[in-house]
Amino acid sequence: MKTILLIGSTIVTLSLISYSIGIITEQRKKLITKKVLAFLTLGLILDITATICMIIGSTNSPFTFHGFIGYTGLLAMIIENILAYRFYFNQGSEVNVTKGLHLYSRYAYLLWVAVYITGSLLVAIK
């Protein structure tokens, strides 16, 4: 396996950890805090970095089935971050999240984890 792909795999796993901490904290406390925003942002930055590494290191076209679902998961993360920041700055710090944002966060997270698992399975199959 190419070094850039190993680096990308490590970074995407770190993204999973960071994003999981942010989402699970938000889901349990039903709050958007500075801590939640920090972990969501770090997860997003790491995922973008990992995606770039995977595109650079892959011999396949970036427009594969896994690529498309990966970009969809990344887009869901971007939207989650935008919504969380808007909510935080519009409502003030540590205010209960709305039911809609709470539900969107859960679905975006589940989508992103499904993309992570399918990517891992594709690597394992090869």
Token pair of 64 as six digits:
């594969």
What 8-state DSSP symbol labels residue 64?
A: S
User: Which residues are CB-neighbours of 103 under 8 A, at least 6 positions away?
Assistant: none
pLDDT at 60: 81
Answer for the pair 62, 7: CB distance below 8 angstroms, yes or no.
no
Written as six digits, the tokens of 69 are 């679902």
What tens digit of pLDDT does each residue of 47-78 get?
999 999 999 998 888 788 888 999 999 999 99
Structure tokens at 43: 């997860």
The domain ranges of the chain are 3-125
pLDDT tens-digit map of 80-116:
999 999 999 988 777 788 899 999 999 999 999 999 9
| pLDDT at residue 108, rounded to an integer | 95
CA 51 to chain centre: 11
